[in-house]
Structure 1
Amino acid sequence: MTSILFRCDATADIGFGHLSRCIALAEALRLSGATCSFAGQYDDAAADQVRAAGFACESLPSPVNSLGAAKELAGLPKTGAIVLDSYRADESYIAGLGSSGARVIVIDDFRALPAYPCDVVLNFTQEAPSLSYPDGPTLLLGPHFLPARRRLVEQRARSIERDRTGAVGNVLIAVGGSDPKGLTARLLRCLKGQADGITVRAIAQSTAELEPLLSGFSADSAILPRQKDLSDQLLWADAAITGGGLIKYESAYMAVPVAAIAQNEGQDGETQVFAKAGLVFDLGLADTVEDAQLAQALGTFLSDASLRTTMAERMRDAFIADPSAHAAHAILEAVSR
């Protein structure tokens, strides 16, 4: 039986996207017979999420690459493989993980490093196959390797069959596990007046600022706490408005028409590639798009039924039924060589 340690961090400041996709991959690896555990700098909410998914969790005092790989691994149980998911890692840190004797899998987004001294690179983004990774590691590239939570996989067929061709009634806003730029409030303000009578569910920490912003929507609108996964909310939604990271992919996987606003330049470039494939409506980069432009774009997205219908059709064809299992099988095959 293969033991696999996931090394990622998740706090309100860091965000929860890396952890969410690691849990999704760990779920699929567990179904394939692997024993998975987690180690990282986690706040209480993140540690609870790991344990709720059924995995052991070791909280570390500092994030990836603060002390070097050897010191970070000291005291942790020996493992056969390490899955690393962090923008803080560089090639020296990756090589250090491998020096422990473990096989190393790197979850990557932007091909930002000059070298990848590891056994496997997993990049599920639309642009990944065009990024010219260096020779050496096994490359798992593109949306067929999306790490989707089990509940998403289980609910996908129902979501695909759901009729979303008419007017939008239910809108899900899910920027991400953290919202340092205050995008949830900004999106709620820009959304007012764009569609009469819609019901909005915004996944965010409820604040005195957010609650009054629901007054322009239906009485069933609500601010929801952070979810274990988004399967139920995406099944409910006619359309989603997300940040530029993992959630836009989860929405597309569930064939829910999605508009995304990028929170950094890396997300912005990747979202543009996703938009060219017809899989997202690009709202632009948060730091540069003006509120008037944002409101106009949201109005176009919500009012254009043909655009959303075409998008949903492309989404159905862009993903395989169980990309997490596909990734897990490929990883286990690579590390067993």
Structure 2
Amino acid sequence: MTYRIVFRCAVSATVGIGHLMRCREMARYLQGLGGESVLLGPPDSLRTEADESLFADWIEVPERGSSAEDAARLVALCRKYDTPYAVMDDYRGDPEYQQILRNAGLRWLQQFDASKPWEFQPDLLVNASPYERREQYLPWLKDPAQTRTLFGPQYAVLRPAFAGLTARADGRPVQRILAAFGGGDDRGAIATTIEALAGRLGPDVTLVIVSGAGNPRREAVAAKVAALPAGQVEFHVNPPDMIQLMRDCDLAVIGGGTMSYEAAICGLPIVFMGLAPNQERPCQGWQDLTGARYLGQVGTVTVSELYETVANLVSDDTARTEMAAKGRQLVDGQGTRRLVEALLEREREDA
């Protein structure tokens, strides 16, 4: 039997590219099972050479239209490829949209924005945030017996290389601090981080800044970095080996998106600045479960607040050690497998 999954994916400078990353990794896992994937939504400009073999088809959607129109588009594509399986990695899948998928007899997995809950009726409702619990969502489930909730960091979709990382010593001296806020608009978070930390933590500490090529503030960030003394800051745009770059850092200042799981599995102590309301609950969850520091939404965090928080962590080996160990315990890198196997109803006992 050849499994096929149609992915509906939202991606833009505003929402970032984390949704596309998740779809790619699930498609990669499905490919390993001998299956095929179809991607609906992202622009062709984001298509890479690797995507040519990863997706049997890539359909750009320049204008989404109404929920009814987009849901019909997804259903038609499932019909074309003779599959009942779909993944909604697009937070606009509202109740009207879901009802159309249900009426069409699809079996689908739905990622969602916890800051804007509405009635849900997918077969699998997914949120990897450490904050979410099934009991919180029972009032939002149209049929609780029909919808399985897969919540928590064990369902985070990460690149396979993260699962095979060799752990570095927890509590090691802080010499490299990662500052990264996804592949889209950093919303001023990088500028705040530069002002707060560049050259202010001693000569042995380097600020390692990572930006996506699609970040509209990228050129302004590059200009800030160029004006600083040599050695204080490294600036990377879409680095070819982000995994190694992260592993080589000792602390992270990041947003509450996909990178939070990557930082956790790397054993990085984390300071969070949320980029959007839907990152508030994940950031709070990380703080509650690991001791990570959540300072609030970008734009509300002051330079002095960020500096003091990071400086205190740099000097507190015990706090960094505990934070790193707790984060790594929550993320094992097997989320992709768990999600695909659950969607296809072929889970192993150890899933």
Alpha-carbon spacing, 1:268–1:169, altered in 2? closer, same or farther (3 Å): same
Q: What's the CA shift string for 1:150-172, capped at 9, x where partnerless?
A: 22223x3x1x2x12423211122
> Are the aligned partners of 1:65 and 1:93 in contact in 2 as well (CA < 8 Å)?
no
> Which aligned pairs between 1:276-291 and structure 2 lie closer than 5 A?
276-278=288-290, 280-291=292-303
Post-superposition offset of 1:99: 3.3
Q: Which residue of 2 aligns with 1:60?
A: 61
Matches of residues 159-238 of structure 1 in structure 2 within 5 Å? Answer: 160=167, 162-197=168-203, 198-204=205-211, 205=213, 206-213=218-225, 216=228, 219=231, 221-227=233-239, 230-238=242-250
Does the C-alpha gap of structure 1 residues 120 and 203 become closer, same or farther in structure 2, counting only changes over 3 Å? same
SS of the equivalent of 1:4 reads strand
Distance 2:275 2:268 in 1: 21
Contact 1:145 1:324 in 2 (8 A): yes
1:239 is matched by which residue type in structure 2?
L
For the pair 1:324 / 2:324, whether they are aligned, the reply is no
- Other-structure match for 1:107: 111
Could you tell me the TM-score, scaled by structure 1's length? 0.87
Report the alpha carbon displacement of residue 272 of structure 1 after superposing the two structures with TM.
1.2
Q: Which amino acid is 2:70 matched to? A: G
Structure 1 counterpart SS, 2:272: strand
| CA distance in structure 1 between the aligned counterparts of 2:183 and 2:49, rounded to whole angstroms | 12
Q: Provide Cα deviations, 1:140-194, integer angstroms capped at 9, x if missing partner.
A: 121111111122223x3x1x2x124232111221101112512112211111244
Greater Cα shift, 144-153 or 75-84: 75-84
Report the alpha carbon displacement of residue 16 of structure 1 after superposing the two structures with TM: 0.9
8-17 vs 109-118, which deviates more? 109-118
Please give the secondary structure, in 1, of the residue aligned with 2:193.
Answer: helix
How far apart in 2 are the matches of 1:172 and 1:223? 10
CA distance in 1, matches of 2:236, 2:71: 38
Match of 1:92 in 2: 96
Q: Percent identity?
A: 24
Residue number in structure 1 paired with 2:47? 47
Alignment length (residue pairs):
330
Deviation at 1:258, TM superposition (A): 1.6
SS, match of residue 26 in structure 1: helix
Output the CA distance in 2 between the equivalents of 1:63 and 1:99: 20
Per the alignment, do residues 97 and 3 of structure 1 end up closer, same or farther by CA in structure 2, a change over 3 Å counting? Answer: same
Distance 1:217 1:22 in 2: 40
What is the distance in 2 between the residues matched to 1:52 and 1:259?
37
- Provide closer, same or farther for how the CA distance between residues 312 and 75 of structure 1 changes in structure 2, counting only shifts above 3 A: closer
* Residue 264 (structure 1) aligned with residue 276 (structure 2): yes
1:264-294 per-position Cα deviation (integer Å, ceiling 9, x unaligned):
2231232112101115221222132222222
2:159 corresponds to 1:152:
no
Give the distance between the partners of 1:41 and 1:164, measured in 2 at CA. 39
In structure 2, the partner of 1:313 is: 325
User: Residue 201 of structure 1 aligns to which amino acid in structure 2?
Assistant: V
In 1, distance between residues paired with 2:53 and 2:114?
Answer: 28
Task: Give the deviation of 1:6 after TM superposition.
Answer: 0.8
SS in 1 for 2:219: coil
TM-score, structure 2 normalization: 0.84
Cα deviation for residue 309 of structure 1 reads: 0.7
Change in CA separation of 1:306 and 1:53 when aligned onto 2, cut-off 3 Å: farther
